[in-house]
Structure 1
Amino acid sequence: MENKYTLNSRVFKAFCDENRLMILEILQTGEKCACHLLDQMNISQSTLSHHMKILCESGIVVSRKEGKWTYYSISSEGSEYAVELLKQLTEVNIKIKIDNTKCCT
């Protein structure tokens, strides 16, 4: 079982590439076949596979096979996790802030 930092780093890694951001934007309109993503983007099939692996490992995107094609969509559970993670990491904790003012006095 992976620790929370491993999972959280995968979520942020998913957002750290312009191609993956473009893929997420395309998937906002619903499930898409890999062939549709390839038509929309100027990348090779192997490059798309690399990006989709990262997006799927983060939990933000899910996939399903149908024949020889793979279909991708945004996971509502994964996207909610990513939103909450960002909120938690950027939220100012008043108690911690108050405790920190006592440091080095």
Structure 2
Amino acid sequence: MERRHHALSSEGISQCLKLLSDPTRLLMLKLLKDKEYCVCELTAIFDISQPGISQHLRKLKNAGLVRERREGQWRYYAIHPSGPEYALVCSILQQIDEKDEVLQTLRQKEVIVTCR
């Protein structure tokens, strides 16, 4: 199925780029593009406090870049595939080399994290 491209305003693109200019949020989106994560998993992967991770996720959610799913006391996040900025975000995320040292370190941490 071909995805329709939605033209964004200069303000929309600027706001999206501001959000992605933070390395934590950028790499968080890179991970969330492939898989859904619980807040506790992201806390362990990024070695950031729960309030810190929640603040990043709140900004991404408010911008429509991630979606939230609740399951009991747990909250799971994934990239929002139908947001207007989706194509822009995916284009940027594709530029991150899979061999990036920081990304590889984060992916290694995710293997040992479980909160269920």
Relative contact order, higher structure (CA 8 A, sep 6+): 2
- How far residue 27 of structure 1 moved from its aligned partner, in angstroms, is 0.9
Taking only aligned residues, the RMSD between alpha carbons, in angstroms, comes to 2.4
**66-75 or 9-18: which moved more?**
9-18
1:27 pairs with one of 27, 32, 48: 32
* Corresponding residue of 1:58: 63
Q: Which has the higher helix share?
A: 1
Name the CA distance, whole Å, in 2 between partners of 1:77 and 1:57: 14
Identical pairs, percent? 37
Gapped runs of 5+ residues in structure 2?
A: 1-8, 92-116
Gapped runs of 5+ residues in structure 1?
A: 87-105
The TM-score, its normalising length taken from structure 2, stands at 0.59
Change in CA separation of 1:73 and 1:58 when aligned onto 2, cut-off 3 Å = same
* Corresponding residue of 1:76: 81
Q: Which amino acid aligns with 2:44?
A: D
Change in CA separation of 1:79 and 1:18 when aligned onto 2, cut-off 3 Å = farther
Name the CA distance, whole Å, in 1 between partners of 2:76 and 2:84: 18
* Corresponding residue of 2:98: none
The TM-score, its normalising length taken from structure 1, stands at 0.65
Name the CA distance, whole Å, in 2 between partners of 1:65 and 1:6: 31
Name the CA distance, whole Å, in 2 between partners of 1:19 and 1:56: 15
Q: Which amino acid aligns with 1:59?
A: G
Change in CA separation of 1:24 and 1:45 when aligned onto 2, cut-off 3 Å = same
CA contact (8 A) 2:20 2:26 kept: yes
> Greater Rg, structure 1 or structure 2?
1
